[in-house]
Structure 1
């Protein structure tokens, strides 16, 4: 019996003995296709280690010689990482050492959370602001899972009565095709632009050539969270004053918290509170899309301070980032009594802050023109008003021309303008810059440069002003161990300054000391190639290092991501064999890992074998190495190419019903591939 309750109908033709069954499309199973899956990665287990980032500079001018540097020391293991840093300055008269940040951090990638104890920075939001402090912080950290999709992503639905092919177009660009079975389907996690208006078109073609088009508009913004997603931060500690100039200037204590929630895919709310002994504040903001063409943000906050009393802040911003026209308008209003987080008594107190921006295409120049306006009035100082304009032209042969202009509209009435022309000439980049400063002074700057490679290599630049005896010359050299820089400044034919610099990292992992270009706050990998030197190492398809005399190379990698690390088969010696040429390690931040390519060294040789009568063994004879049982076929003139040889090798030669044996001695110290024989 056929169940007709689901909308199924049928008819039977007795003359043709045919049964015609009609089923609603929604009765078929829904097929879901994802172009980009949301996924999480588990970093590899951390081995204990440590590293020091350094940036050292020696500067000489007409009046002073100085040495400066920035040092960061990090130790790490499976419990997390501990970092402390310092700035060092020494001139002709004194030497200063200022501590920067000292903190312990533990990341939890499976929960996308981080815990920090020590010097850190608080979260802010739409109405607050960030500040340095010493204390604790527990927060969501989406960066520990770069593959996880936590922002809204359009879902577009369709249906097909017959097996079909769907072509997916995003903003009129074909992104992929998908074969589908009859029935309804959803396509999710499309590779759409991360900000602004967009459109997805599905072109569905069935087996009979019928075509239908499904269209969906969307508005994307990194501010929005997907429905049900949460972001949070809880902080407590003591605000730090004079960061970078004093070691430990900690003052006001505080507790603060922020919570963000995606109510729907188009509405995200945020709430925040700040508690201090003499100040309390709380506020919230809402971001939501208006249809599929704009994003509106509103915020309101209130503060209470022992001296100033109660004050409020209000804000609204609307943006429309279309494929052609882009606009943004925002206004914030501050009560005189409103107190900002971590404010000082002598800072400027804003009254209103307004900004507007518009960008639109000009077909004549095949580019956009952008116009912006900023206006800030203050309770206790003069206003700031500024308008700016920028545009550019894409010219033939890869050349570019950009224009910019800005003018103050307040009491200063200053203005400035610049024209920049750049064109590549093979490996050289050339650039011309004509600028006018507020005083009316015109400056023409000419620059010729080369790019600094990602791996070992050199880049340089030379800049001249007004075609006079004024020049700035810079050179940058990358090695496996560090990056070296040099700079010479000449004005009116006289050298006015020289500077030498070196930046890099020295560390310890797996009981071995390593050197690398600067890791900064990222991660690093140490590649081992079983002692093979001068092997090029590639990361994300860029050559980043060359192995040293011990077959090692260290270089920075991105944390919490699959890092594509490769060696190339045609760049390793012929006697080296490996079945693995690519590895994809995932590292914790501020830590390192070992990447060992399982390379087997094989001593190979071309051997010429003669019979006792001095005639070569016949072509096609089988040569077997007794220790490995590997078989090789002899060629003309008794030649056979043997691999995986030892110092002493027993060879067994057979052909037809004949058999003979011989012992082959190989010089294991010789680096070049050998030709042995006749034997």
Structure 2
């Protein structure tokens, strides 16, 4: 009988502990289609505390503006004559236009507001206001769905040493070669120290090295100010009309590229108006991308996510079924910055040459410096400016701007002036991108340098090479003309024509190109491209037809024409899963022939828990080649060494999650913890809130988690430690009696070891989890005070323990 009672009580407490304390009361609330107004807490006190001469009655009313209900009750005062008064702040919340000079707490008589009418219903405690659209402020809603985090003070970056590696081995005609590149980062809360290396054992040129250092730098990012500081090797940031230079020195710049949660480009925005509360549908090229409700009056739709198309249709449908259709053209351009976005960079350093070939090829005799700035004045205009200076006499100043006009075109222009080696020079640039029609786009740009125009790239190259017999880079070009047109006569087909001309030192290089692609069916697609040199008569063409019966397999047949040589290639590839994750295997092969010779190859790769391995076998006539590569990472953090696939822009170490627990991020199963409850998440987006979950389904029954969910924010190229507090947990049932030997009545709350909660059940029994070696129970007897129980527990192999009877003192 005692055993049956214990089991019954145990099941009862399992059910009772899973219920919300308010569940019973909440079950009587019918919330179907109900809007329950609440009294706003702020500002009411000033109305309740009446002055001696204020005889007006305070009311809390439901207010409807043009039949649309406001979500909260509004405080209204009524005098003896029935006149109604509302605070200016509340009228502004109702979107009524009130003079900005009127203080928020000032009471305004409703009958003094022009352009509105109203009626008060004492029985319904409601106030109905009718206002013309001109009397209502614009209703704005933002469609931007980015997970933008604003509080970065609580980022707890852990110190970690990270090695990302790629190792390549190659065997070709009895010759063996080993190459690798390594990227080493030491990440701390104060910033990241990073360096990279190349290694090759096949170097025969005495001027080259087996070990080659790449970039070495320290970088700190301030996510709140969206800025970064770099000391060491870097690429200079430049203006639209400038050229980047590799430097070693100091850089202070904006850090929007490290904040993927912020959209910097100007997104399309549209506006309209509704006489009555309406439903708004937004269509792009006859495809609906948004539907929502708007109140009466003017409305603005801001930050529409980037969508391909050229015409937007706004359809408003009011409560009577009346529709208003408005069409507007639009053209999206990544060149335009969003309003108030400021991109800047200040760069100071000495030039570096032969990157990837020599470790320390610097010119310490010349210091180069530059400053660049771009500012989103509004969604239609972006302004820019820049300057460049060198210690050997360069001065370069420039300015530019980009604007959208007619809803279909973007126009950009810039000018710059320079002085170097007693020579003045100039640069002028102009460009336009336009949506000519729903099926055609056009772009062109022209840049010309006057006299001996110079910039940092020009100075750097002049220092490195006195004579240039090879193809001239655009840093030396005097005229650059580009033009292109894209035409899509039918869906899924596109034709692009392009023309490029670069003039330098009395020579002209002209190139005409063409691209045609299309999807002939769900499984068949093709791509055709070609170019011809108008100055130097060289021609090339490429045609490929692709068959993709599924996302896991495709086959491609292609032919290439280079001048008088024609080659054919057949390629196939496939994978066991459609996306790149642990357990993914992909492979394929190709056969190519140009008439005189043939090539064939096989390749495959596999992503494991600790690295990714890939291999290739290639054969050309009598030559054979075998190559194998291995990529992954080694991380030393939290007093443990981790082996994993390469670390991305952020990582997290899961600790104390229990053995064999599943780790999830956003519903995606990332893998299983090891025997010590650890797991490494290798690639997380920085400065976005991440939600990491633990699925304890496979957790042993004698284990418990303090938490199954953690939210965190991670810095750029940094990591955090997530502790889920998994521990072995004993469970049991204890019986409580008072000093007279009677059982404690059911319903009293019990505090277990100062943190866990329990409830006294029938027969004085209490179900306990997380039983410790030494335990203290505090029972709240309400008006009878409190009593305490102390007992010790010896570890047992049982999953459930009958702990006995204890007196509460």
The normalised TM-score by structure 1 is: 0.81
Alignment check: 8 A CA contact 2:337 2:382 kept: yes
Measured after TM superposition, the shift of residue 257 of structure 1 is: 0.4
Measured after TM superposition, the shift of residue 83 of structure 1 is: 0.8
Q: Distance in 2 between matches of 1:173 and 1:593?
A: 42
Q: How many residues align?
A: 619
The equivalences for 1:103-502 within 5 A come to: 103-193=217-307, 198-251=310-363, 252-276=366-390, 277-306=392-421, 309-321=423-435, 323-335=438-450, 337-343=452-458, 344=461, 345-347=466-468, 348=472, 349-363=476-490, 366-379=492-505, 381=507, 383-396=509-522, 398-425=523-550, 427-450=552-575, 453-466=579-592, 470-492=599-621, 494=622, 496-502=624-630
User: Where is the strand percentage greater, Structure 1 or Structure 2?
Assistant: 1
Say if 2:635 is the partner of 1:507.
yes
Alignment check: 8 A CA contact 2:544 2:556 kept: no
Measured after TM superposition, the shift of residue 463 of structure 1 is: 2.1
Q: Distance in 2 between matches of 1:102 and 1:281?
A: 29
Alignment check: 8 A CA contact 1:647 1:667 kept: no
Q: What's the C-alpha RMSD, in Å, of the aligned pairs? A: 3.8
3-state SS in 1 of match to 2:683: strand
Measured after TM superposition, the shift of residue 89 of structure 1 is: 1.1
1:551 aligns to what?
677
Cα 1:330–1:265 shift into 2, 3 Å:
same
1:79 aligns to what?
190
Alignment check: 8 A CA contact 2:658 2:699 kept: no
Structure 2 portions without partners, runs of 5+: 1-82, 84-109, 120-126, 733-751, 774-793, 801-809
Cα 1:271–1:327 shift into 2, 3 Å:
same
Cα 1:483–1:632 shift into 2, 3 Å:
farther
Choose which of 632, 641, 645 in structure 2 pairs with 1:517.
645
Alignment check: 8 A CA contact 1:197 1:294 kept: no
Alignment check: 8 A CA contact 1:452 1:460 kept: no
Cα 1:426–1:556 shift into 2, 3 Å:
closer
3-state SS in 2 of match to 1:143: helix
Q: Distance in 2 between matches of 1:21 and 1:477?
A: 67
Say if 2:131 is the partner of 1:23.
yes
Alignment check: 8 A CA contact 1:562 1:584 kept: yes
Structure 1 portions without partners, runs of 5+: 12-18, 606-625, 634-641, 649-664, 675-679
Q: Per-residue displacement from partner, 1:315-335 (whole Å, max 9, x unpaired)?
A: 211111465312111112233
Cα 1:90–1:316 shift into 2, 3 Å:
same
Q: Distance in 1 between matches of 2:546 and 2:168?
A: 32
Question: Larger radius of gyration, structure 1 or 2?
Answer: 2
Measured after TM superposition, the shift of residue 88 of structure 1 is: 1.0
Q: Distance in 2 between matches of 1:199 and 1:580?
A: 49
Q: Distance in 1 between matches of 2:235 and 2:375?
A: 22
Measured after TM superposition, the shift of residue 219 of structure 1 is: 3.2
Measured after TM superposition, the shift of residue 149 of structure 1 is: 3.9
Q: Distance in 1 between matches of 2:114 and 2:163?
A: 69
The normalised TM-score by structure 2 is: 0.69
Alignment check: 8 A CA contact 2:387 2:396 kept: yes
Measured after TM superposition, the shift of residue 568 of structure 1 is: 4.4
Q: Per-residue displacement from partner, 1:437-483 (whole Å, max 9, x unpaired)?
A: 23322222222332685322142323222489743222212122211
Q: Per-residue displacement from partner, 1:655-678 (whole Å, max 9, x unpaired)?
A: xxxxxxxxxx99849xxx99xxxx
Q: Distance in 2 between matches of 1:92 and 1:298?
A: 47
Q: Per-residue displacement from partner, 1:379-410 (whole Å, max 9, x unpaired)?
A: 155524232223222423x3322222222222
